[in-house]
Every structure is written in structure tokens, then in C-alpha cells.
Amino acid sequence: MSGPDLPGTSASQQAGEAPASPAPPPPPPASGADAGKTDAGKTEDAGDAAFWGGAEDGERRRKRRWPRVLIAVGVFVALVVAGLGGLVWQRQSSYNGNIDRIKGVMPDDNSRRPGPNVEGTENWLLVGSDSRADEQTTGEGNQVWKPGQQRTDTIMLLHLPADRKKAYVISFPRDSWVEIPGYGNQKINAAFSFGGPKLLIETMENLTGIRVDHYGAIDFEGFKSMTDALGGVTVNVKQSVYDPARKKQWTAGKQKLNGEDALLFVRQRYNLPNGDFDRIKRQQAFLGALAKQAADRGTLTNPLKLDRFLSALTKSISVDDGVSGGNMRSLALSMRGVRASDVMFMTAPHKGTGMRGKQSVVFLDGTKAKGLFEAVKTARMAEWVQQNGPGNTLGTVS
């Protein structure tokens, strides 16, 4: 990262029916009940209600099933893991075969890479690409990266503690001004355009000092197919807003999105009060809505509907070739007890926006970011959250 940065103009101102399969047995219930909560615990419960749209306590308890949380863990791994619920059911070979595995994504081991993470923890780099094309570029049978034609519109670091009792998702603004190995200081999403997933991973490791264990990617077109497979998802918009780039008017209140609307929702940044920062919250809110709908009793108990969703999901994602079906199955089973309030979304600390030449960029807050990255690296995120708060709430967004 560069030296002291001055705030300036906002970066956001730039421009056939599936074959039926037997209904799966219900997953085991989450263990334990909360008792003796501190103020921090109450804050988590408030975040839980906001995340799931304020459902009543009784219904929340009935619906706290592990697939909803596994999907909510992150944009991609969550989606991978959701499909992996299917791996322990009837169509495991089909679902596992749908998932595209990318060869040569992970950087070669060398002295420049961070050392191993704390034993038992896992860190995933989760990426949403926008190919500027009509066809999806991740998932089964699709080309994952074309030099200069794709950028990463969604960048998240997913941290899983060894005990799998929590999950932390850190979003990075795509205009973050960082050092890209071999290219100097650039916007972070340029790394994917310059050198594909491998260079983006190297950039993230160089920035954070955190070793990336696995990589997951989905094109926005994948979100579209999954949303339609569920029959739409519902989000809550804080105030009416017009998107001039796509000529779309959003009315305040709850909105049920089909696949096409979902793409418009997660892509908007013009006219939002906080530009790209609000778009990050939109992406996280959509992910929560997708998880809620996928975990709805009507989806879980309908073999055809569930199969359509899991098929669309697993056909839309790509992971590094080090992730086997067994790895993902183990991950899914290890996280059965995670609840919605245990999944925390946050944005990397920043100092706002400014200019670098003619580019409007986001300046990360080096001091605060270092503390967060160190907490991930040393597996002390619980302490960091206690001191800094649980992150973003996702009930209503701009």
C-alpha cells in the first residue's frame, strides 16, 4: 500500500424438469440454547433478526436448519456447501460432478507466501466476476477467465475458525488501492483482469498477510439461475432509488426479485448514498435472502424444487482443484451447528475515497485493517469482534 492518502471524489461515481429423488432426511438440529447473554450476545440476536428479516422467535427456531446457514456463509463457498448438503443425499455424484474445478489456481509455494494458518482454520477467497457478457463464465464447461475481459465485482475473504462455531466474511471494495505484484499500485479488481485468479490470490496474500487455502468463484449469471430456480427472493429496500445506468426504479419496501432483477439489484452503485459501500451491503443482503429462500420449508421438503436449486447452484460455481467432494462434504458436516447469528459480514476498514491520477479509488485504513487481518491470521476473530462490533446488519439496505 502507498503512503498517506487524502480523501477526494467518491469511487462510486465512476462510471426440462429434473428427475424426482426421494425426500432427504432432515438434518440434525442445531445444538444448545443461548443462556446468560451479555450485551454483545443481544447485539448478535438483533443482527440475527435483521439478517432473516425479523421472523418470529418460534418460527426462527423451527427453521434453523444447517443448509440456510451454510449458504449464508459466503457468496461461493456457502453456495458450494449448500449443494454439498445434496452430497450426503441421493444425487451426490451428480451434484459433485457439476462443480467445476480450476487447475493451477493456487500460487506455487515459495518464500513470499504467508506461512500456514492456525491448525484447523480455513481461509477462502470468494470472487464474483462480471464478464461484461451474456453467458456465464464460471461453472461446468465455461471458461473461467479471459485476460482483460473480466474484473472481480465481488471480493470476499471467508474465515472459518477451527471449531466451526462462527464464520466471518470480509468484503473488499473492488476499487481498493493496493499493490498488485508485478504491476505496482492498482485497484484490487484489476489483479483478476491482469493475471486471473492466481494473481488475485497473490495480491490478497500480499495485502493481508493471510494465506488463502481455497478459491471459489461464480459469475453473476449464476446468481440469476439460482434465484429463478427458487422462484425469486425477497429483499427490503430502505428508500426509493433510481439506477440511471440500468434505468431501473427501486421502490422503498420489500421487493421480490426474479433472476434478472437480482442481477440489477447486486450490480447497482450509482445513486446509492454510499456508492460501492452500499452495493457491498446489497450483495450481502441478497446472499441472506437467497439463503432464507433456499432453506424455506417449502424448498427443503419439495424434491423437485430442491433438485432444481442444487443443480443450478452446483453448475454455476468453480473452485480450485484442491477441493474434493470429500473435502466439501466434511466442511458441510463440520458446520451443522452454525446459526445465522454466528455468520458475520463486514467490510474491510477504509478511510474513504480519493483520487490517484484520474482514477477514483478507495483507501484502506492500514492501521485498522492490520488489526483485522492479524486477528484472522492468529485465529482471534472472536476477540476482534468483541472490541470492534459484529459488522454489517442486512435487514434493510439502500
Which string of DSSP letters, residue by residue, matches 213-279?
-EEEEEEHHHHHHHHHHTT-EEEEESS-EEETTTTEEE-SEEEEE-HHHHHHHHH--TT-TTTHHHH
- For residues 167 and 159, the answer to whether their CB atoms sit within 8 Å is yes
Q: Which of 61-75, 289-303, 327-341 has the lowest mean pLDDT?
A: 61-75
- Pick 13 or 93 by higher pLDDT: 93
Q: Enter the pTM of the model.
A: 0.74
The Cβ of residue 91 has, within 10 Å, a number of other Cβ atoms equal to 22
Cβ atoms of 267 and 219 closer than 8 Å: no
Length of the chain: 398
Q: At what angle do helices 259-267 and 220-229 cross, to 10 degrees?
A: 140
Q: How confident is the model at residue 238 (pLDDT cuts 50, 70, 90)?
A: very high
Q: Has residue 256 got a pLDDT over 70?
A: yes
Cα 148 to the chain's mean position, in Å?
Answer: 23
Q: Euclidean distance between the first and final Cα of the chain, in Å?
A: 30
Which pLDDT value is given to residue 304? 80
The pLDDT of residue 22 is 47
The pLDDT tens digits of the residues spanning 102-137 come to 889 999 887 789 999 999 999 999 998 654 334 444
Angle CA 321–307–67, to nearest 5: 70
Determine which helix (DSSP H) or strand (DSSP E) holds 35, and give its type and residue range: none
156 DSSP 8-state letter? E
Top-level class of domain 41-229+290-388: alpha beta
CA distance 269 to 267: 7
Q: Residue 74 in contact with residue 169, Cβ under 8 Å?
A: yes
CA 278 to chain centre: 15
For residue 6, count CB atoms less than 10 angstroms from its CB and return exposed for 0-12, middle for 13-18, buried for 19 or more.
Answer: exposed
- Confidence (pLDDT) at 94: 74
Task: Tally DSSP H helices, then E strands, for the chain.
Answer: 14, 15
Angle CA 87–88–91, to nearest 5: 50
Q: Which helix (H) or strand (E) covers residue 123, if one does? A: strand 122-130
CA distances from 356 to 271, 304, 361, 388 (A): 22, 52, 7, 30
Range with the largest mean pLDDT of 40-49, 152-161, 273-282, 363-372: 363-372
What pLDDT is stored for residue 138 in this prediction?
A: 46
Residues 6+ apart with CB under 8 A from 270: 12, 13, 243, 244, 245
- DSSP 8-class letter at 91: T
Asked whether the predicted pLDDT for residue 182 surpasses 80, the reply is: yes
pLDDT at residue 232 in the model? 92
Band (35; pLDDT cuts 50, 70, 90): very low
